[in-house]
Amino acid sequence: QLLAKAGVVDFEHVVIYSSIIRPAANRFTHMMLERIHGKPWKVKHPDLDFLKESYGIMVYEEQVSLAAKVMAGMGYAEAESLRKTMSRDSMQYLIKNWEKKFFQGAKKRCYEDGVIKDVWGMIRSFVGYSFCKPHSASFAMLSFTCAYLKAHFPAEFLAAVISNQGGFYSPFAYLSEARRFGIQILSPDVNRSWMEYRGRENKIRMGFMSIRNLQEKTIKEILDERKVGYFTSLDDFFMRVNPNLSDVMALTNAGCFAALAPELSHQEIAYRAAWYCLGENNENNTDATLSMANGDMGQNAMFHQAPYGKLSKKDRCQLEIESFGFPISEHPLEPY
């Protein structure tokens, strides 16, 4: 928003913007925008010439130290202590002590009260949250790079962010953002998915990492077998991967077999999986598998009679929430 309002987006300005966005600096942010757009300004005092690079406004921690040294006559160590106190969420009495010391030192050097008050107001805006210039420059470089990738390679960028499990938001938030960019979200597929999310040609293919209750061992076997060749049928998949029933059902609920067996219903895949997984030679046969298979699978509400591609939106969303923790075929509020 600040970039859009400023209209100046060279690297030096991005460094300034990334540092001035502080909880206590709103007033100075508006002041800077006015100056960027042509409002006349000058530094508060000729001794504060180092503020010219940031439109006469303090934005970097180094400027706090310099102002303390120049105006209040503090030594380097003392000015650094002031900077550290302001950059932390320090007790009020500590801030008051520094304020008193700053005012006394500046008055001894014959600075006008108005100048002292204005400069201290800028220093005060650093309380609790601030950047030094190198930190801000590093942050700006990362921001600049991310903005470029998001603008020109949105599917690839958002897929990488989700796969990295980074950022402030959940995968669902990033996928919702992708939809707003017109990117198509594709469900996991045994022949096309990888461990991570992947973006290509304005599409994001969900990775196996998105599927709940799917063992990493099974994912590795799927990816290893794919090096030999794509799976040609469900039977081919079962023979080559040798999964247990719970893994097969996790893959089924996530729609991983929708392209491989589009004609089979969710229930038919479940029965076929149970038949294979209960085979006497299957080493993945466990008590949990037997218990799952011996239950009345036909009566289980999660085993639908229709093929995955023909499920109702409600049923499909139910399966997606079960598999990923969120729906991907539509937004939860879309029906309303």
Are 130 and 157 within one domain? no
What is the reported pLDDT for 276? Answer: 78
Taking only the tens place, the pLDDT of each residue in 91-129 is 888 889 999 999 999 999 999 999 999 999 999 988 878
Taking only the tens place, the pLDDT of each residue in 285-323 is 554 444 544 444 444 444 555 556 667 778 888 888 889
Are 6 and 81 within one domain? yes
Are 119 and 162 within one domain? no
Are 251 and 163 within one domain? yes
Are 7 and 57 within one domain? yes
Residue 141 lies in a domain: no
Residue 47 lies in a domain: yes
Are 158 and 84 within one domain? no
What is the reported pLDDT for 308? Answer: 63
Are 181 and 298 within one domain? yes
Are 107 and 229 within one domain? no
- Which range of residues forms the domain containing residue 232? 153-324
Residue 260 lies in a domain: yes
Residue 283 has pLDDT above 60, yes or no: no
Mean pLDDT value of segment 226-232: 95
Are 83 and 170 within one domain? no
What is the reported pLDDT for 23? Answer: 73
What is the reported pLDDT for 301? Answer: 40
What is the reported pLDDT for 305? Answer: 53
Taking only the tens place, the pLDDT of each residue in 62-83 is 999 999 999 999 999 999 999 9
Taking only the tens place, the pLDDT of each residue in 120-176 is 999 998 887 888 999 999 999 998 899 899 999 999 999 999 999 877 889 999 999
Residue 198 lies in a domain: yes
pTM, entire model: 0.76
Mapping DSSP onto H, E and C, the string for the chain reads CHHHHHCCCCHHHHHHHHHHCCCCCHHHHHHHHHHHCCCCCCCCCHHHHHHHHHCCCCCCHHHHHHHHHHHHCCCHHHHHHHHHHHHCCCCHHHHHHHHHHHHHHHHHCCCCHHHHHHHHHHHHCCCCCCCCHHHHHHHHHHHHHHHHHHHHCHHHHHHHHHHCCCCCCCHHHHHHHHHHCCCEEECCCCCCCCCCCEEECCEEECCHHHCCCCCHHHHHHHHHHHCCCCCCCHHHHHHHHCCCHHHHHHHHHCCCCCCCCCCCEHHHHHHHHHHHHCCCCCCCCCHHHHHHHHCCHHHCCCCCCCEHHHCCHHHHHHHHHHHHCCCCCCCCCCCC
Mean pLDDT over each residue of the chain, to the nearest integer: 86
Tell me how many domains the chain contains: 2
Residue that is last in its domain, among 135, 168, 185 = 135
Using pLDDT thresholds of 50, 70 and 90, give the confidence band for residue 45: very high
What is the reported pLDDT for 299? Answer: 42
Are 201 and 88 within one domain? no
Residue 183 lies in a domain: yes
Residue that is last in its domain, among 102, 135, 168 = 135
- CATH number for the domain spanning 316: value is 1.10.150
